[in-house]
Amino acid sequence: MTYTFKPEPFEPPARRIDYDKELNPAQYEAVTTLEGPILVIAGAGSGKTRTLVYRLAYLVEQGVDPGAILLLTFTRKASREMLTRAVHLLNQALGQVVGGTFHGICYLWLRQYGERLGYPKGFTVMDRADQGDLLNLLKERLGFKKLSGPFPRKETIAEMLGAVVNKDLSLDFLLTRDYPQFLEQRDHLAKMAAAYQDEKRRHALLDYDDLLLEGRRLLIEHEDVRRHLSNRFRYLMVDEYQDTNRLQAELVQLLAYSHKNVMAVGDDSQSIYSFRGANFRNIMDFPNLFPGTRVIKLEENYRSTQPILDLANAIIAGARDRYTKCLFTRRADGRRPRLFRAATENEQSKLVVAQVQALQEEGTPLSRMAVLIRAGYHSFDLEIELVRNSIPFMKFGGFKFMESAHIKDLLAHLRVVANPKDTMSWNRLLLLVPGVGRATCNKFNAQVQSGFDLAAGITWLRQQSQKLQDLAGLMEILNGPGQTLMTRMNQTLAYYEPLAKARYDDYPKRMKDLEHLLNITARYQELQAFLNDLTLEPPSSLADVVTPTEDYLTLSTVHSAKGLEWDAVFVIWAAEGRFPGFYSQEGDDEMEEERRLMYVAATRARNYLAVIFPSIGYSRQFGMTVNSPSRFIADIPRDLLEPWRAEVEEW
């Protein structure tokens, strides 16, 4: 028996929302403009989500069938939140509105139309782990695990394949720019990429990137499907448009080809995810792709004080290519952002601790404060200082200091000098040696249990195979008379660097972390005191026991902080070579994104913003260095910042 269900005719709700009263003029214009392409440039804190929610409601109130609306976001959580808020606003269900991520929507289309592209209904979408397993299988099948030269690991190969697809790069260009250490493996990698594509086709497998790639192919090659979907979704709304990659921008064009009713919402000044494939040009070129685009700017900020916004406006004013806007607020009062010049990195850390404690005394809870960093390793010294002062924290983005494998690797060599019976550290440093396995570790552990000093351990290593002689030589140096802590660190780093290069595909970044550890080491004279500070109460311990309901300070990379806000924000290491990073100075596009990162950092603060940099730093290559303030701070009018010379003792 066959049943046919007919949907009830859609009836718009009675008008009840006073849009003119509940929205500012720019938001009102964005919400009530229904036809044609619209680009909403939503400045930081300008009510972007509110605008999208009210436009959903307005479309329905104007009689648009909810089933004709497609809301594209970058997380399912974002689309659920917007739809839920619209339901509450209208006081009616909006179950027919389709909302989700680009990948999720393409998945639904491929389930429905995949046979057009040769996929059976039962095709499988691989997650990252599945993808890695397949790449490992192919590496072994092709004999690449036995190659003498360095060959990328499965995670790195997956990143390469994703960059080729999402950034429309050739393998040759990608290897030359980002992975020069693997250039000699170019032919092998090309062969592996071809085998990977063939294996997916033969076994009806799709990876994460294929969802976008095949979704686009479906719309290009099958005009009837494109026409059907374009006619069905007469109103497209795209959130965070500045974060779209080339495939996502093309999908929007294909879907809107029959009506051009696209509202793209985003902020060019917050385009900071190029490493994920986001294309800054998408938002800048939107009016060219959609002639007749109406550009609406949301410039009224509901988050920060005007002095903070004045600084943010000045930072982004130096951008080479942007939509001109000027953030303003009705919160005209507030103190100017402060610029602190600390003498050293440790003084910078102590300054942050003192300021955090002072703000606590004024009534600001830790949960409303954040320290923002350009890179994960920039907070290592601060983490130690926070633990020393019993300030709980949570870190987002990057690794906590003691959780980084390469930090653990290096410290293991020093720990056995301090305690030759530390079998955990012995195991770690032994397993770093190529060709050494668990059997050797077990033999060594048996010797440790019998009781011996470091000299006996070195003798045992000397009596073993040739592969352990370099380690034995290092341990002799570390155990020698008159060795300072810094000398020991430098000797260990010199020994460890080739091991790290062979072990980690991103070893240059990890070596930067280790160089930063040297900066911390410089404050100590005694090995045991240094290890005690890192071991007895490791920086990660307090963070690990803090629950979301507890009061804790947030440490976050700027990338992880986007979309968030705090009463007080500290931007540390605002120095040339750190923020902007050293490598970003190699290209104009990279430097422009660094500027946008600083803008994002500044606009996270509601009431208090401090920008801090140490005058003296440490580089393994140059030793002690003199730091200059970040160009993004140095180039702005002096009256926008309140300069402070950090004297920690006075706090």
Active site residue 400: no
Tell whether the model's pLDDT for residue 2 goes beyond 50: no
Tell whether the model's pLDDT for residue 7 goes beyond 80: no
Decide if 199 contacts 207 (C-beta within 8 A).
Answer: no
What confidence tens digit (pLDDT) does each residue in 46-100 have? Answer: 999 999 999 999 999 999 999 999 999 988 788 888 988 888 888 777 768 889 8
Decide if 648 contacts 358 (C-beta within 8 A).
Answer: no
The predicted pLDDT at position 545 comes to 34
Active site residue 227: no
The predicted pLDDT at position 480 comes to 86
Segment (H or E) for 635? none
Give me the amino acid identity at 339: L
Residues 441-445 have a mean pLDDT of 79
What confidence tens digit (pLDDT) does each residue in 256-275 have? Answer: 999 999 999 999 999 999 88
pLDDT band for position 542 (50/70/90)? Answer: very low
pLDDT band for position 15 (50/70/90)? Answer: low
Q: How much of the chain, in percent, has pLDDT values that exceed 70?
A: 91
Segment (H or E) for 312? helix 306-317
Residues 136-153 have a mean pLDDT of 85
Tell whether the model's pLDDT for residue 539 goes beyond 80: no
Q: Pick the catalytic residue: 207, 210, 214, 240? A: 240
What confidence tens digit (pLDDT) does each residue in 266-304 have? Answer: 999 999 998 888 999 999 999 999 999 999 999 999 999
- Of the listed ranges 3-17, 609-623, 629-643, the one predicted with least confidence: 3-17
Residues 403-421 have a mean pLDDT of 83
pLDDT band for position 226 (50/70/90)? Answer: very high
Mean pLDDT of the chain: 87
Q: Which of 264, 265, 263, 253 is nearest to 229 (CA)?
A: 253
Give me the amino acid identity at 424: M
Q: Pick the catalytic residue: 154, 234, 400, 604? A: 604
Beta-bridged to residue 101, according to DSSP, are 73
Tell whether the model's pLDDT for residue 549 goes beyond 80: no
- Of the listed ranges 128-132, 155-159, 351-355, the one predicted with least confidence: 128-132
What confidence tens digit (pLDDT) does each residue in 319-334 have? Answer: 999 999 999 999 998 9
pLDDT band for position 400 (50/70/90)? Answer: low
Q: Which residue has the tokens 């940099």?
A: 613
> In whole angstroms, what is the distance from residue 313 CA to residue 280 CA?
19
Active site residue 596: no
- Of the listed ranges 10-19, 442-451, 538-547, 573-582, the one predicted with least confidence: 538-547
- Of the listed ranges 43-52, 393-402, 488-497, 633-642, the one predicted with least confidence: 393-402
Query: What tokens does 108 get?
Result: 């639904």
Spatial neighbors of 574 by CB under 8 A, at least 6 apart, are: 598, 611, 612, 613, 629, 630, 632, 633
Higher pLDDT, 307 or 208: 307
Active site residue 92: no
Higher pLDDT, 447 or 332: 332
What confidence tens digit (pLDDT) does each residue in 45-55 have? Answer: 999 999 999 99
Active site residue 48: yes
Decide if 429 contacts 499 (C-beta within 8 A).
Answer: no
Q: Pick the catalytic residue: 33, 49, 293, 483? A: 49
Active site residue 75: no
Q: Pick the catalytic residue: 27, 131, 270, 492? A: 270
Decide if 241 contacts 266 (C-beta within 8 A).
Answer: yes
Decide if 605 contacts 371 (C-beta within 8 A).
Answer: no
- Of the listed ranges 152-166, 275-289, 563-577, 620-634, the one predicted with least confidence: 620-634
> In whole angstroms, what is the distance from residue 320 CA to residue 499 CA?
42
Decide if 517 contacts 523 (C-beta within 8 A).
Answer: no
Provide the H-helix boundaries in 419-484.
423-431, 438-450, 454-463, 469-478
Tell whether the model's pLDDT for residue 244 goes beyond 50: yes
From the number of C-beta atoms within 10 Å of its C-beta (0-12, 13-18, 19+), residue 514 rates as buried
Tell whether the model's pLDDT for residue 451 goes beyond 60: yes
